[in-house]
Chain A
Amino acid sequence: DQQVKQNSPSLSVQEGRISILNCDYTNSMFDYFLWYKKYPAEGPTFLISISSIKDKNEDGRFTVFLNKSAKHLSLHIVPSQPGDSAVYFCAASAAHSGGSNYKLTFGKGTLLTVNP
């Protein structure tokens, strides 16, 4: 049973436009959500996170939105740049819901391609 779902395997956008990557989760115990970015032949690197007490977190060009009632989060990248081309993983943990926040559950990832 996939608890974290990224239903779009790939996304292609033009440079300068907005990229929106989506993630859905099923486990209501999840209360901390992260996005990781991964380039080929490298390990994932942390991008941005959000706790369930917030509905938005912004860091420069990256904004994560959380809709708890829909169990949905999204990552917005504005403006998109060619260097943003990578696989983006959504991850979740149950940090303060009786679980362990170091046990991350990952989605399958979305390959973002930003065309010049």
Chain B
Amino acid sequence: NAGVTQTPKFRILKIGQSMTLQCAQDMNHNYMYWYRQDPGMGLKLIYYSVGAGITDKGEVPNGYNVSRSTTEYFPLRLELAAPSQTSVYFCASSYSGGGFKDTQYFGPGTRLTVL
């Protein structure tokens, strides 16, 4: 299994540009998440999905959109990029949202710079 994969690894955007961060998992996990990590900070939840067709906002959703048409893919869309969106973005997945033995598996991250 490849686990959770993310593309691209790095990207530089100009202010006002748009892009989609790709995330895929091959573990048949129901739950998927997008986090951002700013320098010296912990991870903050942007959006999450509990299954195909179902998404919800996390702690910091402004400026982002998501969709989940299949179990495997969970793309994150940035519209009108701003310097405040300069961050490292991590996608994660888990089998379920319940149970103490469940854990989230993370992708390698996408480092985004908005200039």
Contacts and interface: CB of A to CB of B under 8 A. Distances in A.
Given A51-B100, A104-B104, A4 B43 contact: no
A42 B106 CA distance: 9
Interface in A93-112: 95, 100-109
B61 to A, nearest CB: 13
B103 interface: yes
B90 to A, nearest CB: 5
Interface in A44-78: 44-46, 49, 51
A41 B97 contact: no
User: What's the interface size class on B, roughly?
Assistant: 20 to 34
B100 to A, nearest CB: 5
Given A43-B4, A49-B100, A89 B109 contact: no
B45 interface: yes
A46 B100 contact: no
Interface residues of A, number: 25
Given A43-B106, A45-B106, A46-B104, A100 B97 contact: yes
A34 interface: yes
A45 B109 CA distance: 12
A105 B31 CA distance: 16
Interface string B25-47: 00000010100000011111100
A91 to B, nearest CB: 8
A25 interface: no
